[in-house]
Copies of this chain bind each other. A is one copy, B any other.
């Protein structure tokens, strides 16, 4: 059992993130990360009849681009590991249904990309798959209607609320290949400190992010300054501030190396997005468009990608439940 230290996971053969891609909507392309997104879909419907079909198409395009970037055929994939926020994860299952590739559905809300990457890492590292794709998506309109209000209702958004990104990301993990490489990770535990405000998900997820990242640092005997970046997604501005507080209580200063995908995605002052971006596609698109290219080119050497999820449903909130948070983590090196 040498691969496992405590409850962190070591990927002894360092599987490679062979190819990757993201597809985003126009609002995401207009934000500070815009220049890093190479595939922008201007039509929020992506030529489809329903928002759900649009999100399905978004996810399909992201995987298609990732395969193309790696000169891979879909048939070479041993499995697709995918999830999204739509009830019963239909954006993912409908995106994969024409592919004839073995499919593992996963659900970790906005942490899904890290969960899928970690599983892809273990499957390729362990020799159970040669190529495994991790794919996630989110769409502003599918999420807003499902979790909050009908779009046409025009509800006022609270200052702590986050904006679900219209975005998808895909990463193909392979047993063989060059940088970037997955060297380890940590499966998140569910942490629930009793936050019940479904429009303040950053606060609900920050404790889970602290739990996972601190566990990983301790188990690997590393400190934040050992990494070029410790990336969370999507705590937003409010959740990030809470994360620093939780780290300070443990005597650790995080802010110098911390980046949050939710906080990076939009310009709060001009884009009216309040506390930041969110959705499975937020961290997935920033990982695949901003961080992975820098790791591939050697501009970054070592990062932690710790995506966070708020495990609520519209019904659990209506029934007065608090919001459980989770954070899965993968370590990626150049």
Chain A contact residues, CB within 8 Å of chain B: 1-4, 7, 9, 49-50, 52-53, 78-79, 83, 85-90, 93-94, 96-97, 99-109, 115, 119, 122-123, 125-130, 175, 186-192, 311-316, 319, 321, 324, 326
Alpha-carbon distance between A43 and B122 when the two chains are bound, in angstroms: 41
Report which residue of A83, A93, A119, A314 has the largest number of chain B beta carbons within 10 angstroms of its beta carbon: A93
Q: Name which residue of chain B comes closest to A50, CB basis.
A: B319
* A78: B residues at CB distance < 8 A: 4, 7, 187
Of B7, B9, B119, the residue contacting A119 (CB under 8 A) is B119
Of B93, B100, B104, B314, the residue contacting A311 (CB under 8 A) is B93
* A85: B residues at CB distance < 8 A: 88
Q: Name which residue of chain B comes closest to A79, CB basis.
A: B187
Alpha-carbon distance between A326 and B92 when the two chains are bound, in angstroms: 13
- New contact pairs (11) apart from A87-B88, A103-B187, CB-CB < 8 Å: A1-B127, A1-B130, A3-B126, A3-B127, A4-B129, A52-B319, A87-B87, A88-B109, A88-B316, A90-B321, A126-B127
Copies of this chain, complex-wide, total 2
- Minimum CB–CB distance from A124 to chain B (whole Å) comes to 10
Whether A106 pairs with B104 at a CB distance below 8 angstroms is yes
Whether A87 pairs with B4 at a CB distance below 8 angstroms is no
Alpha-carbon distance between A313 and B115 when the two chains are bound, in angstroms: 23
Whether B190 pairs with A99 at a CB distance below 8 angstroms is yes
- Given the contacts A3-B128, A7-B78, A128-B122, A88 and B102 also touching, CB distance less than 8 Å: no
* A122: B residues at CB distance < 8 A: 122-123, 126, 128
- Minimum CB–CB distance from A325 to chain B (whole Å) comes to 9
Whether A7 pairs with B102 at a CB distance below 8 angstroms is yes
* A324: B residues at CB distance < 8 A: 93-94, 97
* A125: B residues at CB distance < 8 A: 126
Whether A189 pairs with B4 at a CB distance below 8 angstroms is no
Alpha-carbon distance between A123 and B109 when the two chains are bound, in angstroms: 22
Alpha-carbon distance between A108 and B83 when the two chains are bound, in angstroms: 11
Whether B52 pairs with A316 at a CB distance below 8 angstroms is yes
Whether B86 pairs with A187 at a CB distance below 8 angstroms is no
Please, could you name 15 A-B residue pairs with CB atoms under 8 Å apart, sorted by A? A3-B126, A3-B128, A49-B319, A79-B187, A87-B87, A87-B314, A87-B315, A89-B311, A90-B316, A96-B190, A97-B190, A97-B311, A97-B324, A106-B107, A122-B128
Of B9, B52, B127, the residue contacting A128 (CB under 8 A) is B9
- Minimum CB–CB distance from A29 to chain B (whole Å) comes to 27
Whether B127 pairs with A90 at a CB distance below 8 angstroms is no
Of B7, B90, B311, the residue contacting A88 (CB under 8 A) is B311
Of B4, B103, B106, B189, the residue contacting A326 (CB under 8 A) is B103
- Minimum CB–CB distance from A28 to chain B (whole Å) comes to 23
* A189: B residues at CB distance < 8 A: 99-103
Alpha-carbon distance between A105 and B122 when the two chains are bound, in angstroms: 16
Alpha-carbon distance between A1 and B108 when the two chains are bound, in angstroms: 29
Report which residue of A7, A49, A128, A130 has the largest number of chain B beta carbons within 10 angstroms of its beta carbon: A128
